[in-house]
């Protein structure tokens, strides 16, 4: 079974598109990568059933296998709940880093993701002005995979014009920009996310980035629940809560189309 799902939205053609492919067994990694490159979406999730409510999950970008992906996990949870592939409203996904638990309630899906703490960069190896054409910024933080540039306002986030060739040269998988909403009653912060090195020039809504963004804004705003907006052209909304070392990422999803070519046989190219 193969599904196209828009994640972190209630409307088709908004949010972040993800492929969800359910297989009986995994083909070779090269075949999985060919499929991801062919569709050229931010990620395709490949699921293999392990038990009544348990699946193995792997995520592929157009360039490589991703270590963690939020929107394709949300899309996968949406598929198994909407199609009643599990007996209850809870399920689990095993991945290389552990187990992700998901549940659904009134079409809102909640996912337990690992919290990713970030540290302030004291030695900055790039120019924010040259990469984003933004002169002023608050600070830059990072972990082992991601730089986050904190800007002065949501307007700066929206108006930033990234230089993708410069971003490709950075010593990280991706870079995000973010800013706090001060006067908005709807959102706590917004962001954008760029990963051209792995074939994702701008990710419409990146769930895994919010494992870092939630931790950063929790330290800045002294709170543990947030409503966040990803300010891409497609846009998306995330509901976040930090509890110990877990970031609970909640959102909606909608199925755009589905195919049943691979219902009875393993997936092959």
Pairwise CA distance, residues 37 & 26, whole Å: 17
119-243 shares the fold of 2-114+251-259: yes
- Rounded to an integer, the average pLDDT of 125-135 is 94
In the chain, % of residues over pLDDT 70: 96
pLDDT at 195 over 80: yes
The CA distances from residue 4 to 188, 211, 227, 238, 260, in Å, are 29, 24, 25, 20, 12
**Structure confidence at residue 260 (pLDDT):** 63
- Rounded to an integer, the average pLDDT of 162-177 is 96
Average pLDDT over the chain reads: 93
pLDDT tens digit sequence for 20-48: 999 999 999 999 999 999 999 889 999 99
pLDDT tens digit sequence for 248-260: 999 999 999 987 6
Residue 262: band (very low, low, confident or very high) from pLDDT cuts 50, 70, 90: very low
In the chain, % of residues over pLDDT 90: 90
**Structure confidence at residue 82 (pLDDT):** 96
Enzyme catalytic residues: 43
- Rounded to an integer, the average pLDDT of 83-101 is 97
CATH fold for the domain made of 2-114+251-259: Diaminopimelate Epimerase; Chain A, domain 1 (3.10.310)
**Structure confidence at residue 261 (pLDDT):** 55
- Of residues 258 and 100, which shows the higher confidence score? 100
Domain layout of the chain by residue ranges? 2-114+251-259, 119-243
pLDDT at 132 over 90: yes
Residue 123: band (very low, low, confident or very high) from pLDDT cuts 50, 70, 90: confident
Domain 119-243 class, CATH top level: alpha beta
């Amino acid at each position: 079974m193969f599904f196209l799902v828009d994640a972190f939205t209630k409307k088709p053609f908004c949010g972040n598109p993800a492929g969800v492919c359910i297989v009986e067994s995994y083909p070779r990694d090269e075949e999985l990568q060919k499929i991801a490159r062919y569709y050229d979406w931010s990620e395709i999730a490949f699921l293999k059933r392990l038990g009544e409510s348990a699946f193995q999950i792997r995520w592929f970008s157009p360039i490589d296998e991703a270590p963690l992906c939020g929107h394709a996990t949300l899309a996968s949870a949406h598929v198994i709940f909407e199609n009643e592939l599990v007996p209850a409203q809870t399920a689990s996904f095993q991945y290389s880093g552990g187990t992700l638990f998901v549940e659904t309630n009134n079409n809102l899906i909640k996912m337990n993701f690992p919290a990713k703490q970030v540290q302030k960069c004291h030695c900055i190896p790039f120019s924010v002005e040259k990469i984003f054409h933004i002169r002023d910024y608050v600070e830059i933080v990072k972990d082992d995979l991601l730089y986050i540039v904190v800007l002065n306002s949501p307007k700066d986030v929206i108006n930033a014009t990234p230089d993708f060739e410069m971003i490709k040269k950075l010593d990280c998988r991706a870079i995000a920009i973010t800013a706090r909403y001060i006067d908005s009653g709807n959102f706590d912060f917004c962001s954008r996310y760029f990963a051209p090195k792995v074939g994702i020039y701008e990710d419409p809504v990146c769930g895994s980035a919010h494992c870092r963004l939630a931790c950063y804004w929790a330290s800045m705003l002294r709170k543990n629940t947030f409503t966040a907006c990803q300010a891409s052209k497609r846009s998306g909304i995330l509901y976040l809560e930090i509890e110990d070392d877990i970031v609970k990422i909640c959102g909606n999803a909608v199925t755009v189309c589905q195919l049943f070519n691979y219902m009875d046989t393993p997936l092959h190219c």
